Amino acid sequence: MKYLKSIILFIAFFAMSVAQNAQAQNVVELNKQQFLEKVWNYEANPEQWVYEGSLPCVIDFSATWCGPCRRMEPILENMALKYNGKIVVYKVDVDKESELAGLFGISSIPAFLFCPVKGEPQGTMGAYPADKFEEIIRSVLLGN
Say whether 69 is catalytic.
yes
- Among 39, 69, 127, 140, the active-site one is 69
Q: What is the CB neighbour count within 10 angstroms for residue 131? A: 8
- Report the alpha-carbon distance of residue 78 to residue 130 in Å, rounded: 9
Say whether 115 is catalytic: no
Q: Which of 24, 28, 66, 130 is catalytic?
A: 66
What are φ and ψ of residue 52, in 5° steps?
-90, -15
Q: Which residues contact 43 (CB under 8 A, 6 or more apart)?
A: 36
Report, as residue numbers or ranges, the catalytic residues. 66, 69
